[in-house]
Amino acid sequence: MKKFISFNELATQKKVQVIPMDSSDVKEFNLFMKQAARESSKNSQRANSTASKAYLTR
């Protein structure tokens, strides 16, 4: 079975410098995701209203 390693152990193995994220980046990302969710919801509602007007035939 493969042994799982932590993020810090992997960074050490790959010789990568770990830099903590700035909290302002998180706020911007959260705002972006909220906007994306709103837009997706609007598009879904539009799709549903359009689909309800379509006639299905055999």
User: pTM for this structure?
Assistant: 0.50
Q: What was the pLDDT predicted at 31?
A: 93
Mean local confidence (pLDDT), 28-49: 93
| CB proximity list for 5: less than 8 A, separation 6 or greater | 13
- The DSSP letter of residue 16 is -
Q: Would you place residue 57 in the very low, low, confident or very high pLDDT band (cuts 50, 70, 90)?
A: low
